[in-house]
């Protein structure tokens, strides 16, 4: 069974550019989460989808970040325009239920220069 996959694994972009990260959850998992780890800090929650609906987006830092999950399958997280402080590792996770183990992807390392 394939795990959670994320694309790309690394991305280096210039300040002001746009980047779109993609996450393919484990098949059949209705719950999909985005997290971010900024260097030196803890992993922080960004948002939670249940199927195609945003259940909780309280962790989204600002309106430069847009997450979508059309059709309730894969999800994208777009940063537009990117700022230096957006650099970090963006993790996606999925789970079959809300109070169960979340399976994480390997993350996308985003570097904004």
**Binding residues vs another protein (CB under 8 A):** 3-4, 31, 33, 35, 41-45, 48, 55-56, 58-59, 91, 98-107
In the bound state with another protein, the residue whose beta carbon lies nearer, of 73 and 106, is 106
Only one residue has tokens 């195609």, namely 52
- Closest contact distance (angstroms) between CB of 81 and another protein is 27
Distance (Å, rounded) from C-alpha 81 to C-alpha 12? 14
Calculate the alpha carbon distances from 49 to 8, 10, 18, 81, 85 in Å: 21, 24, 22, 23, 24
In the bound state with another protein, the residue whose beta carbon lies nearer, of 44 and 78, is 44
Cβ neighbours of 45 (radius 10 Å): 15
In the bound state with another protein, the residue whose beta carbon lies nearer, of 3 and 8, is 3
- Closest contact distance (angstroms) between CB of 26 and another protein is 12
- Closest contact distance (angstroms) between CB of 98 and another protein is 5
In the bound state with another protein, the residue whose beta carbon lies nearer, of 14 and 101, is 101
Here the tokens at position 84 are 């230096």
Note whether 33 and 57 are within 8 A (CB).
Answer: no
- Closest contact distance (angstroms) between CB of 55 and another protein is 6
């Amino acid at each position: 069974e394939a795990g959670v996959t994320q694309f790309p694994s690394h991305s280096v972009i210039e300040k002001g550019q746009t980047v779109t990260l993609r996450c393919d959850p484990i098949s059949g998992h209705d719950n999909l989460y985005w997290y971010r780890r900024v260097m030196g800090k803890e992993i922080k929650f960004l948002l939670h989808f249940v199927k195609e609906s945003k259940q909780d987006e309280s962790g989204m830092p600002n309106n430069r970040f847009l997450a979508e999950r059309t059709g309730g399958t894969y999800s994208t997280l777009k940063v537009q325009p990117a700022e230096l402080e957006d650099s970090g590792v963006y993790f996606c996770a999925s789970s079959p239920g809300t109070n169960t183990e979340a399976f994480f992807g390997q993350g996308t390392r985003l570097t904004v220069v």
